């Protein structure tokens, strides 16, 4: 067991190592605003108790997003700006992939340029349609 700060209580060594990586990557993000990286929690020797320790230490931020694409994806901002908890689940809600993403905004939440172009064209077409005339 390791302790990161006084009064925070003990934490398993693997979880403490992940938190140190989060700190290092957040420091880099602060210096390089376009930096983005992820820590794959499934590739680490981290059991459910270690993941729970990480969840408790990182806390919950203000943003909580859900995506429905080939299963459920939940993206939660942690209490630390720039650190995001991302969980991908299958159709039966079994965790398939879990990671801590370090970024200003996770790439999964960014609209693709092609999608934005299509949206602009669709809206322009809808505005040009006779059924969508301005009311004077």
User: What pLDDT is stored for residue 124 in this prediction?
Assistant: 93
Whether 116 is covered by a domain: the verdict is no
Q: How confident is the model at residue 5 (pLDDT cuts 50, 70, 90)?
A: very low
Write the CA distances from 75 to 56, 67, 100, integer angstroms. 16, 8, 10
pLDDT in tens, 46-85: 888 999 999 999 999 999 999 987 789 999 999 999 999 9
Q: What CATH number does the domain containing 65 carry? A: 3.30.1370.140
Asked if the model's pLDDT at residue 3 lies above 70, the reply is no
Asked if the model's pLDDT at residue 9 lies above 70, the reply is no
pLDDT in tens, 85-94: 999 998 888 8
Whether 40 is covered by a domain: the verdict is yes
Whether 78 is covered by a domain: the verdict is yes
Task: Provide the domain limits for residue 84.
Answer: 13-109
User: What pLDDT is stored for residue 118 in this prediction?
Assistant: 95
Q: How many domains does the chain have?
A: 1
Whether 124 is covered by a domain: the verdict is no
Cα angle value 49/53/58 (rounded, 5°): 150
pTM: 0.82
């Amino acid at each position: 067991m390791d302790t990161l700060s006084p009064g925070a209580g003990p934490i398993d060594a693997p979880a403490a190592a992940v938190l140190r990586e989060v700190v290092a990557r957040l420091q880099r993000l602060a210096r390089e605003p376009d930096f983005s990286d992820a820590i794959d929690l499934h590739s680490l020797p981290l059991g459910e108790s270690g993941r729970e320790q990480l969840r408790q230490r990182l806390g919950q931020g203000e943003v909580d997003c859900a995506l429905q694409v080939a299963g459920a994806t939940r993206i939660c901002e942690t209490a630390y700006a720039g650190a995001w908890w991302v969980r991908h689940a299958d159709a039966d809600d079994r965790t398939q992939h879990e990671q801590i993403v370090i970024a200003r905004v996770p790439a999964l939440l960014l609209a693709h340029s092609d999608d934005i172009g299509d949206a602009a064209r669709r809206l322009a077409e809808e505005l040009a349609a006779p059924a969508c005339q301005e009311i004077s």
